[in-house]
Chain A
């Protein structure tokens, strides 16, 4: 297995799918001549040409709306939003159109659409450019929301998303692009809507995804030195949410910490904790803990920003509290 970065993994998935299927094309701000603001589509414009690598105006509603329309005609657009923060400018088309048209017209419409977008904080970009609003989008039936945490999952899940006939929001954490990981050789897909036990352990279940997988692994390494074995479940998809591996792990450890980068209120942790209480109440040995972002707009100052974001120590502390 080759070790590549998350950026390379995503880029490879796009490239291979475009080579495989003429109907797949990319559209978004600076995806073409510039090569992608995070360099994911570097070299694509020269290889595939302007028909399939389409630079758009800075106009998020029409980027997503146009991609929906193109998908309705049988194409398989991959629309890129420069950051998930700009998804708010396209909110109607993501949650009111992409998520609803199929159902609302009695199943006539098929929308094979992928919206790729980087998200997350930690880069001193200030409050409007640093958000992790994943849970907002996961709220809407009709949309699928996925957020891989490793290069292997990123490549396999993006390929699966492009081949899927449903609208999918594909969230890439911007600070993970440089992270390296092993990726299988050749063509492979990773199914969407499947959680996975990322690291086995016996004492506490840590449920997490995306960037917080990295943070949770570091916490687990630290705890392991103290004799505490954490089992990490990587959700990978937020909608549909696959609770099976979470429940399986929790029924074994009877203790859980949920780690997410977004705000605590109404978040992924709230949802997972509620489901554990609903579906496995008899197995609860300690109150379930949530580790999440402090409830503030993310500040620019580096120290303040890091104070607001969940840290390895926060996870370590929460795990010790549920033990």
Chain B
């Protein structure tokens, strides 16, 4: 990988971290409403994954979607504006934290019902297959989604029709507050892909380079084999499920253990040890990110609220 690209990945991971820390602050101040599911701790997953895609590859994910939005190329300003419910947000202030998308960037959301976007992902992939395009649909979801019927209907159909789909299970160890082993009959989520004859693999989601390499390899696999692949990514979320999670289901030690393996820390060490970048360069990037976050907040705060007449706009294409 070229240096520019390596640094851009670092930039995106730090941007997601700082933007979300700021979002948590704004939430506490009451400026962000509803739910706020932070991606902090999981930045390496979508950064490694999405940096490997081609422009024709579609991305669709669940409700923990701010980081994915950044990786998909949505400006921090628009992400923050959506969090604040402003007219300049990705979804004009009508979607909120869980519903960010940008069709122009081939980013199809941001879906809040657990597992419900997996059937939709099969359709995105069918659209490309039907029209003879070589795009792949990258569908991300959590370990919790593997226990719902939507998941099984979708995996089955993806194999029956050999759809160009990369299924990516972000196993962050908990579906809300229920540990994987308390909710899933199998320990490895990829075992569920076995049941549908879908080739599969597992990768360490705390190391962005490992994720990136896996993504490159399996995107290529889907493109050349004309069929789905299932990638399980082992990761961890540092924060609660959403804001206001009492976190009675895990010990502080466990969180700290994962934090010593922090994806940004691991990547920083890699860049320095491999002499891909100097610490000054990385520090500069981090300073730039702080300014970027500040700019995003200022943009969002000074943006207009949606006009009252917007209430009735956009329900139908033919109104």
Contact = CB atoms under 8 A, between A and B. Distances in A.
Interface of A: 25, 51, 54, 56-57, 59, 61-62, 64-75, 77, 92-93, 96-97, 101-112, 141-142, 144, 164-166
Interface SS of B by simple majority: mixed
B157 A107 contact: no
14 contacts: A62-B156, A68-B123, A69-B127, A70-B124, A71-B123, A77-B123, A93-B120, A97-B111, A97-B116, A104-B95, A105-B94, A105-B103, A106-B90, A165-B318
A110 to B, nearest CB: 5
Nearest to B82: A106
Nearest to B118: A65
Nearest to B152: A59
B210 interface: no
B37 interface: no
> Could you say which interface size class chain B belongs to?
35 or more
A57 B153 contact: yes
Nearest to B310: A106
Contacts of A72: 108, 120, 123-124, 127
Top 5 nearest A-B pairs by Cβ distance?
A69-B123, A65-B119, A73-B127, A106-B92, A107-B314
Contacts, number: 140
Nearest to A89: B149
B65 to A, nearest CB: 12
A70 B121 CA distance: 9
Contacts of A51: 130
Interface in B190-243: none
B102 interface: yes
Given A106-B92, A141-B315, A166-B317, A69 B157 contact: no
Contact of B126 (A66, A92, A93): A66
Contacts of A111: 317
Interface string B107-138: 01111010010111111111110110000000
Contacts of B317: 102, 110-112, 164-166
Interface string B280-311: 00000000000000000000000000000000
A23 to B, nearest CB: 8
B315 A61 contact: no
Contacts of B171: none
A67 to B, nearest CB: 6
Given A72-B120, A105-B90, 4 more contacts: A25-B130, A65-B116, A102-B316, A107-B313
A166 B316 CA distance: 6
Most chain B CB within a 10 A radius of its CB, from A62, A75, A111, A166: A62
A106 B94 contact: yes
